[in-house]
Structure 1
């Protein structure tokens, strides 16, 4: 590998440029996430939800969104349509992963298209830089695998991000219910309870605080409680949030006590969280048995059987040789 880098300066330059791009992209996204979290925390603490359509947005994130929007519009203006035939299902997946921009499905289609074309071209460039001459069958297989990777990598990334986001929201939801129960029993309305709970949970559970902040924004913009709660359930993508929204809507329609409803559902959510923790604890022995059987058991068998094998060899080999 070192000889390859010394013989081909193009490869060395490409590797250095790739490392620089990775470091720069990591620093940029880390700074953007830190700035967005700081802005979200400041708005929730100050209670300022009036002039900002999205909780957690910042000037940098807005400039980035405008740049992506201009890129998508420019490509579609050139004659390439980025509208997917499964636009509704793709939009639901993107919303569940936290990408709520209107142009997100078109940008997702553009990224998949770039990866499907770009990865095979990158393979060709690497083969040309290394002066490799693989067979036609091997070249075809490598190009097909690269194209399939470019097609499915965005979907895998989207599913992983949605699962991680839902898990963060679900883990903090019982605590949010307890705080909301305290607020409602203290005499606050649902609007004030959502705002207060979102403010209190900015540091511990920022994902959930963003959801509550978005509900406050929609309620102050004139949406009904039912519509705002259902939109929160759609954005979160978690069954617990959807059940919570349905429960509050039914309680408000039937005229039942919201405090009693929250108390019962909070106890149920705490029980579910405890059961999930117990389930993970019970899975540990099964997961540990795989490395134990695969790694430690052969070593133990070898240690226990080696003395017996040595004795057998010492007693049998001389007799076989006639000694």
Structure 2
């Protein structure tokens, strides 16, 4: 559909297409046409949401005022423009979190394979097959890297492609580390062991950071919901006593 629209003369490319492409790759959309599809979906939502609102308003027995139609259409147009962006960011964050949390396990399996005598290509293939159920995203990336190597790509190109496909800084650093280890001839097992330990330490620090944020986050519902109730329970007897005793006394004295 996007191809037919562009052939008709309507350009769907964006001025910030490189940034959009990075966001889409981070969310798992790796197709070359993904940025144009994303722009097309945004255009549809910008016009579709206000159109549905106007249709619903027209079918009502009491149609809204012109000002209400204007405000509702403007709000829905803004929502149509930003909802796809929010969806892509949320999906990219979930994907990044899954990859970062599961990658230390894949490094441990890769370390076992390397210490057992397998080469880098065989280790990536074995780990990719083992993680197909527990960490499917990591399995897909490792399998793609293995297929690139078998298709004739060099290790450096395949590993750099792995970092670009992942869209995660930790994976890019890992790919660079493997490339340097392969060029310098250092021990691959030692490299994997050190990097796995660093990633587990980083994951532990992130978990501690989230745990330390919990008291602050819990204080918000406590203040919003419990504090007014407590104030009402404490003040209510005094209010009742004032209504029953103080106000009649004041009225009698006057």
TM-score when scaled to structure 1?
0.73
Residue 183 of structure 1 is matched in structure 2 by 113
In structure 1, stretches of 5+ residues that fail to align are 1-70
Q: Is 1:213 equivalent to 2:143 in the alignment?
A: yes
Q: Aligned pair in 2 of structure 1 residues 143, 311: CA closer, same or farther (>3 Å)?
A: closer
The answer on 1:320 being equivalent to 2:229 is no
Distance in 2 between residues matched to 1:318 and 1:86, nearest whole Å: 73
* Match in the other structure for 2:46: 116
Q: Deviations over 1:65-118 (max 9, x none)?
A: xxxxxx222222222222223322222221111111222122112111211222
Unaligned runs of 5+ in 2: none
Residue 87 (structure 1) aligned with residue 49 (structure 2)? no
Corresponding position of 1:192: 122
Which residues of 2 match residues 119-198 of structure 1 at below 5 A?
119-130=49-60, 132-198=62-128
| Residue of structure 1 in register with 2:190 after alignment | 260
Output the CA distance in 2 between the equivalents of 1:306 and 1:133: 45
Distance in 2, matches of 1:238 and 1:99, equals 14
**SS at 1:177 equivalent:** helix
SS of equivalent residue, structure 1 residue 84: coil
1:294 aligns with 2:234: no
Q: Distance in 2 between matches of 1:303 and 1:110?
A: 55
Q: Distance in 1 between matches of 2:26 and 2:215?
A: 33
- Per-residue CA deviations over 1:126-175 (Å, capped at 9, x if unaligned) read 22222554444433322222222221111111111111111111110111
What is the total number of aligned residue pairs between the two structures?
Answer: 253
- Cα distance, 1:270–1:309 mapped onto 2, change above 3 Å: same
Which residue of structure 2 aligns with residue 58 of structure 1?
A: none
User: Equivalent residue for 1:280?
Assistant: 210
Distance in 2 between the 1:258 and 1:321 partners?
A: 91
Mark the CA change 1:126 to 1:312 in structure 2 (over 3 Å): closer, same or farther. Answer: closer
Q: 1:270/1:316 Cα in 2 relative to 1: closer, same or farther (>3 Å)?
A: same
Root-mean-square deviation (Å) = 1.9
Are 2:234 and 1:304 equivalent residues in the alignment? yes
Find the partner of 2:181 among 251, 256, 260. Answer: 251
Name the structure 2 match of 1:41. Answer: none
Instruction: Provide the rounded CA distance (Å) in 2 between the counterparts of 1:203 and 1:122.
Output: 41
Q: Is 2:20 the partner of 1:100?
A: no
Q: Given the superposition, is the C-alpha separation of residues 314 and 126 from structure 1 closer, same or farther in structure 2, using an over 3 Å criterion?
A: closer
